[in-house]
Structure 1
């Protein structure tokens, strides 16, 4: 049985009459790297601040390990938080910035020195301990902020979009460093981001939030391959999943035949356990890598934009019915701009959603 890391039960947060977090239940095991992902305003940072004790909980309980910390002071929760802004003291050296909380707690000088140097070694900051923050790069400053959290030896690390201020190349480098840091420390880490690529590459477990609710949680590839609703299907994956309106034409023992709206000559047979009645409106979800070029009957698309990324390209276009579509090509260097192509979805790779966005299986 896995040890408890962080457990939330019925957690809610209201600001006046506005309910921002709506009865969230959550289990994060000890040593897991959990990522909260979702669009701006979905409540992910508020949830993190509630765990840290920086926001009061309106309802529900928060447990860290075996302790109920719902009403505990931030300093007594056993957490350390790393913010989007580095929040370093500009007049202090890297060493003094990292040692600040230990000195405040009046820890022995030898212990302070040992813990700071140990953290600096993990973060490759040994050669920078005497420098001031202004002498460091953005990535180095973020490592100092992380080091300041490490020296406290918390039960849980909380990261609130820590890479947002870095350029694209540094973000990738720091993402790898955070993954290595998690493996080195084996600590429970909870990370907030709106970037689903960060979520997919860092997380052991992803929580997808929208409107103050957890829409779905699980391992990154589980969410990618088996989304529970249209929101999760569209949010997880880059480029996003294609969605096409369709209508059920006929029901068979093993599934349904559907017609894509705007393409009266194209019918797809989709295996489903539940079989909606003929005439039912649906939304079909197909990922770009599951659409292949074909000859003959299929989805007719006029290509207007190509994203050439080297070994892979993404072709953007419009179906005959007017719906946008993007499909992936690997290793191809065909000039498709302005051409009309025919696509077919791979067998078993079509997701079906009802008009409310719920998955039909």
Structure 2
């Protein structure tokens, strides 16, 4: 599929298949095209080129109401003068469904979402999380083929976001419905998705199960985007090929050679980028990378130490259960064997 707004091409040849019953998440930075892609599926944006198929039907030219989709927006988009019951029943009444059917479906959805005791209240009497559940309930009663979620949790505070993530995961398990969810928050993506589609610049950079993307990113963008805190990246030069890969030296760290396992090692002298996740840098009393710690994120059972190498590169490393003050100290860290990723200068993964 392609989508252009005038001369600006926003979706640049996306070809994807979301499986029936799957919880698929589109994730990426602002402006990558994820919300536009969702709106194209919903029929709220016309497709410049390509087609959209839901089930066995080509719905590319169908109106949104005929596509069998229901969309939950970032803003709750509830009618403030109507009760929770009336908001949830609105689309069914518009479709002139029998009163008994409407009542059955609204109460069934309210039971699933723990809204039974709130059916007579107005949206203004509810918390943010409850209002978002009403918006989801309004989608459930329509029994759509596909649920579409456009950053539905971004207006909630941190505690409610965690709670609603769990509720959405349970809802998917209970309904077994196909759900497509858009977010810029990779933690939400990792928590909710059966499969993640990582978008950047109107392209799908990689798709797969959350841990597959985390463990085996195909390029530097995906490696840096998936994972919190982000992966560390260091400029390096291949010094020699070895039996299992290469020996590299980090720029600015000439006295510390590192052995990297690669199946297809580049030639000596090749400039590469080395990627190492914070949890794969271990503090050591021996030789390693000397990090001056300037900020510590203390999260209780785990802490993240932020600092700089002697050459000026920023670095983050993880400590489990550490309770001693590291701010202002110099710590020596080494990569865990086999845990470093290599990328060429264009960002493509070297395997």
Question: 1:76 is matched with which residue?
Answer: 66
Where has structure 1 moved over 2 Å in runs of 4 or more?
none
- Residue in structure 1 matching 2:192, options 199, 202, 209: 202
Question: 1:14 is matched with which residue?
Answer: 4
- Unpaired segments ≥5 residues, structure 2: none
| CA distance in structure 2 between the aligned counterparts of 1:64 and 1:49, rounded to whole angstroms | 14
Q: TM-score, length-normalised on structure 1?
A: 0.97
- Residue in structure 2 matching 1:353, options 337, 340, 343: 343
| CA distance in structure 1 between the aligned counterparts of 2:164 and 2:156, rounded to whole angstroms | 9
| CA distance in structure 2 between the aligned counterparts of 1:290 and 1:252, rounded to whole angstroms | 22
| CA distance in structure 1 between the aligned counterparts of 2:11 and 2:178, rounded to whole angstroms | 22
Question: 1:158 is matched with which residue?
Answer: 148
Question: 2:270 is matched with which residue?
Answer: 280
Q: TM-score, length-normalised on structure 2?
A: 0.99
| CA distance in structure 2 between the aligned counterparts of 1:130 and 1:340, rounded to whole angstroms | 61
| CA distance in structure 2 between the aligned counterparts of 1:16 and 1:280, rounded to whole angstroms | 42
Question: 1:85 is matched with which residue?
Answer: 75
CA offset at residue 137 of structure 1?
0.5
SS at match of 2:161: helix
- Residue in structure 1 matching 2:135, options 136, 145, 155: 145
SS at match of 2:15: strand
- Unpaired segments ≥5 residues, structure 1: 1-10
SS at match of 1:253: coil
Question: 2:89 is matched with which residue?
Answer: 99
| CA distance in structure 2 between the aligned counterparts of 1:90 and 1:252, rounded to whole angstroms | 68
CA offset at residue 334 of structure 1?
1.6
Alignment coverage as a number of residue pairs: 351
- Whether 1:271 and 2:261 are equivalent positions in the alignment is yes
| CA distance in structure 2 between the aligned counterparts of 1:94 and 1:272, rounded to whole angstroms | 58
- Whether 1:326 and 2:316 are equivalent positions in the alignment is yes
- Residue in structure 1 matching 2:250, options 252, 260, 282: 260
- Residue in structure 2 matching 1:134, options 124, 148, 153: 124
- Whether 1:169 and 2:159 are equivalent positions in the alignment is yes
- Residue in structure 2 matching 1:190, options 162, 180, 196: 180
| CA distance in structure 1 between the aligned counterparts of 2:18 and 2:275, rounded to whole angstroms | 30
More strand by share: 1
- Whether 1:309 and 2:299 are equivalent positions in the alignment is yes
CA offset at residue 254 of structure 1?
2.3
CA offset at residue 276 of structure 1?
1.1
| CA distance in structure 2 between the aligned counterparts of 1:271 and 1:306, rounded to whole angstroms | 31
| CA distance in structure 1 between the aligned counterparts of 2:319 and 2:170, rounded to whole angstroms | 32
